[in-house]
Structure 1
Amino acid sequence: MVLTASTMLAIGTKAPDFHLPEVVSGKKISLATFATKKALLIMFICRHCPFVKHIQQELSKLGNDYFNSDLAIIGISANDAQNYPNDAPESLKEMVTELDFKFPLCYDETQEIAKAYTAACTPDFFLFDSDRNLVYRGQLDDSRPSNNEPVTGKDLRAAIEAVLHNQPVITEQQASVGCNIKWQPGNEPSYFG
């Protein structure tokens, strides 16, 4: 595990489109899937990372809390499944069931979507407004597996509530940290140190 921080993609960046298979149904998911929603949260997560495991119940709670809201949520796993079989689609499908995720979890086999978003770690969060401009790319909250801070989702939830209520999102944002995305050999992006 290499402790890695979010790249902190520039606020205002347009959400890159994608067409990824959802691990449970195989259905293709894209930006158009969420066209009617006021906000879109894209989370780069995986199954094996201790940082994701630490917050996985809160991710499930987020999905439940915002299930019938104007926020769309999608999880994307881009880890190299050959070297990290716990992050392969079949295993991710089990994760969806075990945690009762109310949002689609997709697999980015080529890792091109992770690169398009400059995703660097798991978890890595990207919140977009109704025009699909980036308004938040930061941590869930202050909790880490190595500290005693409670997992509350307060930072991300505050940003979500601001977007949903037409309020400005705080511009001082703390980078998310976690395990580095497990890039396929020779596929590491230029922004990844």
Structure 2
Amino acid sequence: MAVSTPIADIGWKAPMFRLKGVDSHYHSLKQLSGMRGTVVVFICNHCPYVQAIMPRLIRDAKALHDLGVHTIAINANDDRAYPEDSFSNMKVFAKEWNLPFHYLHDDTQEIAHAYEAVCTPDFFGFDADLRLQYRGRLDAGRKDPVPDDTPRELYDAMRLIAHYGYGPGEQQASMGCSIKWRLPQEDADLNWIQPAM
């Protein structure tokens, strides 16, 4: 079922993280952030919404990099229930798409919870001080191809942020597959032995 992102909490400070990338090295937000802005996007390997936008996301990430805005992708899906989203398959995905940005694994799902991410793709656009200025979509496309003249909403928003430090007043929610959260661990009382009365 498709879900949409909530209204942005403008000015919210980005939670820090240190996660393992598909290059098998650990990377922190501080290390990967851009001088003029940073996009943190939650994606996964198998989501049709993500697969549909990848060519345009790669195009815009490259263009934003030239403006001093870096892109970081994070996969937080439960790979036990969805093995196609495993770390080994993340490496395959990154190679197949020749990703121009770091692709990190949130294996504990702690970072996705900290960001209150809800879907794939879910975009967070931060200014140079890592304060949220954009929580919108890449563009109007979903799972189908879009016309070449489709407005590049994320790119335009981040360009505005890079130059002026603030994003657009009107932001359209991103839509995609829900993040595949792990089921809560079995209740402790399953292993609890009731004491004698």
For the structure 1 residues 30 and 84, does the alpha-carbon distance in structure 2 shift closer, same or farther, using more than 3 Å as the test? same
Match of 1:134 among 132, 135, 139: 132
Preserved CA contact (<8 Å) 2:14 2:132: yes
Structure 2 unaligned blocks of 5 or more: 186-197
User: Which residue matches 2:119?
Assistant: 121
Equivalent position amino acid for 1:120 in 2: V
Equivalent position amino acid for 1:13 in 2: W
Asked if residue 154 in structure 1 is aligned to residue 126 in structure 2, the reply is no
Q: Within 1, Cα distance between the matches of 2:92 and 2:30? A: 26
The structure that has the greater radius of gyration is 2
| Runs of 4+ with deviation above 4 angstroms | none
Q: CA deviation at 1:33?
A: 0.4
For the structure 1 residues 6 and 156, does the alpha-carbon distance in structure 2 shift closer, same or farther, using more than 3 Å as the test? same
User: Which residue matches 2:190?
Assistant: none
TM-score (norm 2): 0.87
Q: Within 2, Cα distance between the matches of 1:8 and 1:93? A: 32
Preserved CA contact (<8 Å) 2:128 2:165: no
Q: Within 1, Cα distance between the matches of 2:108 and 2:8? A: 21
User: Which residue matches 1:185?
Assistant: 183
User: Which residue matches 1:52?
Assistant: 50
Q: CA deviation at 1:63?
A: 2.9
For the structure 1 residues 15 and 186, does the alpha-carbon distance in structure 2 shift closer, same or farther, using more than 3 Å as the test? same
Q: Within 1, Cα distance between the matches of 2:43 and 2:157? A: 19
For the structure 1 residues 127 and 26, does the alpha-carbon distance in structure 2 shift closer, same or farther, using more than 3 Å as the test? same
Preserved CA contact (<8 Å) 1:125 1:137: yes
Query: How large is the RMSD of aligned CA atoms in angstroms?
Result: 1.8
The 5-angstrom pairing of residues 1-193 of structure 1 reads 2-23=1-22, 25-34=23-32, 37-145=35-143, 149-150=146-147, 152=150, 154-166=152-164, 168-186=166-184
TM-score (norm 1): 0.88
Structure 1 unaligned blocks of 5 or more: 188-193
Equivalent position amino acid for 2:51 in 1: K
Q: CA deviation at 1:167?
A: 5.8
For the structure 1 residues 66 and 173, does the alpha-carbon distance in structure 2 shift closer, same or farther, using more than 3 Å as the test? closer
Preserved CA contact (<8 Å) 1:52 1:123: yes
